[in-house]
């Protein structure tokens, strides 16, 4: 197969009106990644070849979103949405260069796997002219039905064009279709739009191939990999399937998920072996977690690095740029943004650390806040190794606290503190013996006098 030239055409035009969204349908994310990017990743996993992307309205947004997955984008525009065959023909110039295999993928079916692409190409290599990935489902509504006769695929009928009996067929079109490059343009040019929607259907190439005595075959995939997304309800179903697969993969790779159905991963989450993730944890994009980490319940993590042996949460929020190094601890109700928490440092309770470097082994007391923002600019706080920040301190950046230094609790620190120093940034306490009692008496007398006046 490697010596067969392949062109993958990914359809990403059409606004997807049933999503009721200003975002083009194929940019709706699954696991934090646009659906169409999942499809492009699948194409790459299947061994690449050339890729043509067909975009329509909102095309610029689609182009931008897929740039990281399509280093050499060949982008075609379908100016008007006239159906899937019409969309494929937008890439006519690419097809005309001559390919052995042409594989068409829909940008709204993100769970298709590379193996499926390869199995269709294998059919072409074995002499088929058209190969379709089908799946069986108990809920065929909305899908094209694969019409077979004597074990041969003779047509795909769209839901709206189905006769009553055909509607009962549960073998459906996934949307993944491979065409022999030699005849693809011929078949596509023969597609008309005489159907319920008045669209040029890619699926009609099967009946046309059959009429011409060419060989069309189907390959069966699991329903889970074939699901397409036309509504937000279907988007949620696809997300759920993706998450289920990813959780299983994580557990098989040595990660403990105590309540897997409550943990949500992103497309790029990395988690090391022997890490335990407690219930109700959200991994946004860009999170990597080392080995032997404990993520306690109810954490929200995005674009964060968590090194081996760290402990996070419960109820911690790690925002972009949080960098927890070996055995660091970030505890309950703490937020960390764009900050290093170096080896063994502890940020344990009710704290905000933003734009900061916290040295190895430093201890940040409860309620400490780095005041990093003055309404205009952001400033850095540096805390040296082994420093101790007393509870409820405000560190007004830019500011630095030296190694092994102490900051007394309740301080507002506006000036740098040298290594080994002790800094107080608060008024000195004054204690007056007996004055509490006096005060109490004075207040009681005043209240008594006021009450007597009223009655
Ligand atoms: C399509 C198939 C149907 C299959 C289902 C699988 C056709 C005619 N029907 O139906 O057999 O069961 O997918 O999910 O192909 N697109 C364009 N330009 C267009 C029209 C569509 O680029 O003019 C793109 C869309 O962005 C989408 C994909 O093609 O990614 C499929 O289009 P959609 O309208 O969702 O087709 P379905 O009705 O779901
Ligand atoms: Ca669809």
pLDDT confidence tier of residue 301, bands split at 50, 70 and 90: very high
d(CA 209, CA 229): 28
Spacing, Cα 84 to ligand 1 middle (Å): 6
Percent of the chain with pLDDT over 90: 94
d(CA 88, CA 107): 12
pLDDT confidence tier of residue 161, bands split at 50, 70 and 90: very high
Spacing, Cα 264 to ligand 2 middle (Å): 25
Spacing, Cα 12 to ligand 1 middle (Å): 9
How confident is the model at residue 2, as a pLDDT? Answer: 64
Ligand 1 neighbourhood includes 62 CB (under 6 angstroms):
no
Q: Order of strands across the sheet with 294-295?
A: 256-257, 276-277, 294-295, 311-312, 329-332, 346-349, 363-364, 388-389, 406-407, 422-423
Ligand 1 neighbourhood includes 109 CB (under 6 angstroms):
yes
272: left (phi over 0), alpha (psi -120 to 50) or beta: beta
Spacing, Cα 324 to ligand 1 middle (Å): 45
Per-residue DSSP letter, 75: E
Spacing, Cα 110 to ligand 2 middle (Å): 11
Sole residue written with tokens 């023909």: 89
Q: Which atom of ligand 1 is nearest to the CA of 202?
A: 15
Q: What is the pLDDT of residues 69-124, one digit of tens each?
A: 887 779 999 999 999 999 999 999 999 999 999 999 999 999 999 999 999 999 99
Ligand 1 neighbourhood includes 406 CB (under 6 angstroms):
no
pTM above 0.75, yes or no: yes
The alpha carbon of 398 is separated from its chain's Cα centroid by a whole number of angstroms, namely: 34
Q: What is the pLDDT of residues 418-437, one digit of tens each?
A: 999 999 999 999 999 999 99
Sole residue written with tokens 């709204």: 108
Sole residue written with tokens 């329903």: 223
> Which residues fall inside 5 Å of ion ligand 2, going by CB?
108, 228, 230
Q: Which helix (H) or strand (E) holds 435?
A: helix 435-454
Per-residue DSSP letter, 18: G
Q: Is the pLDDT of residue 1 over 70?
A: no
Q: Is the pLDDT of residue 14 over 80?
A: no
Q: Is the pLDDT of residue 16 over 90?
A: no
74 - beta bridge partners? Answer: 52
Q: Is the pLDDT of residue 159 over 70?
A: yes
Catalytic residues: 349
Ligand 1 neighbourhood includes 12 CB (under 6 angstroms):
yes
From the CA of 235, the nearest ligand is: 2
The average pLDDT across 277-293 equals 98
Residue among 10, 12, 14, 172 to mutate when testing ligand 1 (max atoms within 8 A of CB): 14
How confident is the model at residue 389, as a pLDDT? Answer: 98
Ligand 1 neighbourhood includes 32 CB (under 6 angstroms):
no
């Amino acid at each position: 197969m490697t010596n067969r030239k392949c062109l993958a055409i990914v359809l990403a035009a059409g606004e997807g009106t049933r999503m009721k969204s200003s975002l083009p349908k194929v940019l709706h994310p699954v696991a934090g990644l646009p659906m169409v990017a999942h499809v492009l990743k699948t194409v790459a996993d299947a061994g690449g070849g050339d890729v043509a992307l067909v975009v329509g309205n909102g095309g610029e947004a689609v182009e931008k979103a897929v740039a990281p997955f399509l280093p050499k984008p060949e982008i075609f525009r379908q100016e008007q949405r006239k159906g899937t065959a019409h969309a494929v023909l937008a890439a006519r110039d690419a097809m005309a260069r001559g390919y052995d295999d042409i594989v068409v993928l829909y940008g709204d079916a993100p769970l298709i796997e590379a193996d499926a692409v390869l199995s269709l190409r294998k059919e072409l290599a074995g002499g088929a002219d058209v190969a379709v990935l089908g799946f069986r489902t108990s809920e065929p509504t909305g899908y094209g039905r694969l019409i077979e006769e004597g074990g041969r695929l003779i047509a795909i009928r769209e839901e709206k064009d189905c006769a009553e009996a055909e509607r009962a067929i549960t073998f459906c079109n996934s949307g993944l279709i491979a065409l022999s490059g030699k005849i693809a343009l011929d078949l596509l040019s023969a597609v008309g739009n005489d159907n319920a929607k008045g669209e040029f259907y890619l699926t009609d190439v099967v009946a046309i191939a059959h009429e011409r005595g060419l060989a069309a075959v189907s390959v069966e995939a699991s329903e889970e990999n074939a699901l397409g997304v036309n509504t937000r309800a279907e988007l949620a179903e696809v997300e759920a399937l993706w998450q289920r697969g990813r959780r299983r993969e994580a557990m098989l790779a040595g990660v403990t998920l105590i309540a897997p159905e409550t943990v949500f991963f992103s497309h790029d989450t990395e988690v090391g072996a022997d890490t335990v993730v407690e219930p109700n944890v959200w991994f946004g994009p860009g999170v990597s977690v080392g080995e032997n980490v404990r993520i306690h319940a109810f954490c929200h993590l995005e674009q964060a690095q968590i090194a081996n042996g760290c402990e996070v949460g419960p109820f911690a929020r790690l925002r972009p740029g949080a960098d927890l190094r070996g055995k660091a601890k970030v505890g309950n109700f703490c937020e960390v943004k764009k900050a290093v928490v170096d080896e063994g440092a502890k940020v344990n309770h009710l704290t905000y650390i933003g734009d900061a470097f916290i040295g190895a082994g430093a201890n940040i007391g409860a309620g400490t806040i780095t005041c990093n923002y003055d309404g205009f600019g952001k400033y850095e706080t540096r805390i040296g190794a082994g420093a101790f920040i007393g509870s409820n301190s405000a560190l007004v950046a830019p500011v630095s606290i030296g190694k092994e230094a102490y900051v007394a609790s309740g301080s507002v620190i506006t000036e740098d503190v040298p290594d080994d120093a002790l800094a107080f940034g608060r008024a000195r306490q004054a204690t007056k013996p007996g004055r509490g009692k006096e005060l109490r008496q004075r207040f009681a007398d005043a209240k008594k006098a006021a009450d007597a006046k009223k009655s």
